Amino acid sequence: MSNIYQEALEAHKRWQGKLSVTAKAPVSNKEELSLAYSPGVAEPCREIQKDKEKMYDYTWKGNSVAVVTDGSAVLGLGNIGPEAALPVMEGKAVLFNQFGGINLEDISAPRCVEIERRLIEALDIPVFHDDQHGTAIVTVAALINALKLTGKKKEDIKVVVSGAGAAGSSIVKLLRDFGVTRIYVFNSRGILSQAKSAGYNFLQKEIAALSNPDNLDTDMAGAMVGADVFIGVSLGGLVTQEMVRSMNDLPIIFAMANPEPEIGYHEALEAGAAVVGTGRSDFPNQINNVLAFPGIFKGALSARAKKITDEMKLAAAEGIASIVSDEELAFDYVIPSAFNEKVAAVVADAVAKRVR
């Protein structure tokens, strides 16, 4: 194992869990006990009984998160089960820190989509599958700025997407909401199209209805000819330099497979790519979900939203993109850093304004 893996293993053993539960209310004497519990606790209970919205005033309703997984699609590790996924869930909870709702995590497609939709229908609190929508939001944010740099218009571009699972499906839907219409999507069996949809699951049928407008039947190399944007959420090494060279001038490459992207950062640049983003922190333009989900939940809960809508997702993408000013915008800087302290507040404000 490399040093980082060994150090992380030792740190996790030392921590024995990255989270702890700390009481805000002191109970060191009778008076404090009476305030935090009986008899004083009866009064906030009565107030909430009269107006359920007062949960946000008197409880942790507005700043708590449930992170839920079945461990069926964890990072680059696959179906490792919920027990083995727990270190990832703890890490996500650390990132959330003080924002709330239900976040679905590392659940395989199409099951994750069905679970999310059923929860949204059944519950009156925000439900969000980060692997789907977080990836899509940050991808569109990066695309907004990449289009500014290259002078391309969203209405005119041709986009090829590799990967039709949780992230790929959400990317396609958000691209359509953003105004992109020429999208071609590939999974392990090839290009998705309505002509082939008889054997598709419900999610693949939805993607086919939103993509491949001219019903092309081609391989990914063929689809890349004349394309303006490649978005990868699939497997490493699928894209060659020849495929990049066949694209339109100033191509945009977001190769997000981890740990190995569909094409390496430097290989894509050498082949003529104008803007290259990956999911890795050791290259510029990291497309990282952490840019999206804390602010999404903060904004939704501050506005007391019952659900997270497509409009709110697009607002989050626009908010993230806006953090990179025109003066700062560069081919190696189209998306803010995950450590930029402005991100959560800007995203929260943008999302809250779209709550109906």
Q: Which residues are annotated as a binding site?
A: 105-106, 131, 258, 288
What CA–CA distances, in Å, run from 309 to 128, 137, 320?
A: 10, 12, 17
The question of whether 184 is a catalytic residue gets the answer no
**Is 306 labeled as catalytic in the residue annotation?**
no
Q: Which residues contact 204 (CB under 8 A, 6 or more apart)?
A: 110, 164, 187, 192, 197
Q: Is 181 exposed, middle or buried (0-12, 13-18, 19+ CB in 10 A)?
A: middle
- Choosing from 13, 30, 37, 205, the catalytic residue is 37
What residues form DSSP beta bridges with 254? 231, 277
Among 13, 52, 58, 92, the active-site one is 92
Binding residues for (S)-malate: 258, 288
Burial of 266 per CB tally in 10 Å (0-12, 13-18, 19+): exposed
Which residues are known catalytic residues? 37, 92
